Amino acid sequence: MTLKAVLFDLDGTLLDTAPDFVTSLNLLLVEEKKKPLDYQIIRNTVSNGAKALVQLAFPLEETDPEFEHLRQRLLALYSQHLADKTLPFPGISEVLCFLKQQKISWGVVTNKPFFYTEPLLKQMPFPVAPHTVVCPDHVTHRKPHPEPMLLACKQLDCKPFEAIYLGDHRRDIEAAQNASMKTIACAYGYIEAGDKVSDWHADYSVQQVKDIIPILQKIIKAD
C-alpha cells in the first residue's frame, strides 16, 4: 500500500479524555446523592459513550424516563469540563510531526458529536491541525459502519486502501475493516475489562503510542 492518510479515533486513541469524563460523571453522582466511582472503572467505559456511562453509574434501563434526563445532565456537565484535563496521549505530537515530515495527511473519525469534538480539538496543542474531522453529524451511519471512514478518505482524496485507522475499540477496527482499510489497535486506550485486543484481528496493535511510528515507517518502507 502507498500510505497517504492516517486516521484516528478520538477518545482513548488520540486524546486522553477520561479525566474530564470522570469529573463529569462523579459530579452527576454527587448531585444524585450517590458515591463517586473509581477512576479506572469510568476510564474503561469512556469509549462507549454517554449512555454507557449512565448505565455504569445508575441501575436504570435505557427505556426508563429518568435515563435520558441523566444522560443530558451528564453531557451538560461534560460540556462545562470539556478540556480541563484532556490532552493528547504522550507521544501523539511526535506521531503528527512524523506524518507532517512524510507529507501524509491525518484526520479524526469519531462517534463523538461535532458539538463536543470541534471545540475540544481547537484547544489541543497539536503541531499540525487535522486535515479532516468526521463526526456522526456528517454521516447517516456511525462506526462500525464504513460510511464515516469512506467520507474521511474522500475528503483526503485517497482510496481506503491508502489509509490506516487507529482505534481503541472493536467497533473502530470493524469500521475500518468494513471500509477495506488497514488497522492499528491501540491497547493503551480505554479497553473494557475482559476485552482482548487480539480478538479484534487488527493488522497491527500497539501497547504504547511510541510503537506507532515504527509501524508507519515499516509500511512506508514497503511502499
Give residue limits of the domains in the chain: 5-16+86-221, 18-80
Confidence band, pLDDT 50/70/90 cuts, at residue 193: confident
Confidence band, pLDDT 50/70/90 cuts, at residue 214: very high
Confidence band, pLDDT 50/70/90 cuts, at residue 222: confident
Query: Any idea what DSSP says for residue 191?
Result: P
Residue 189: predicted pLDDT: 97
Confidence band, pLDDT 50/70/90 cuts, at residue 223: confident
Which of 52-56, 102-106, 192-196, 214-218 is the least confident region?
192-196
CATH number assigned to the domain covering 5-16+86-221: 3.40.50.1000
The model carries a pTM of 0.95
pLDDT at residue 37 tops 90 = yes
- Return d(Cα 75, Cα 32) in angstroms, integer: 15
Which residue among the candidates 9, 16, 168, 172 is catalytic per the annotation? 9
Residue 14: predicted pLDDT: 98
Confidence band, pLDDT 50/70/90 cuts, at residue 220: very high
34: Cβ contacts below 8 Å, ≥ 6 apart: 57, 58
CB of 43 closer than 8 Å to CB of 190: yes
Catalytic residue check, 11: yes
Which residue among the candidates 11, 20, 168, 172 is catalytic per the annotation? 11
Confidence band, pLDDT 50/70/90 cuts, at residue 86: very high
218: Cβ contacts below 8 Å, ≥ 6 apart: none
Catalytic residue check, 9: yes
Mean pLDDT across 83-107: 98
Query: What region, left, alpha or beta, does residue 201 occupy, with left being phi > 0 and alpha being psi -120 to 50 degrees?
Result: left
Confidence band, pLDDT 50/70/90 cuts, at residue 46: very high
Please give the angle made by the CA atoms of 209, 24 and 17, to the nearest 5 degrees: 10
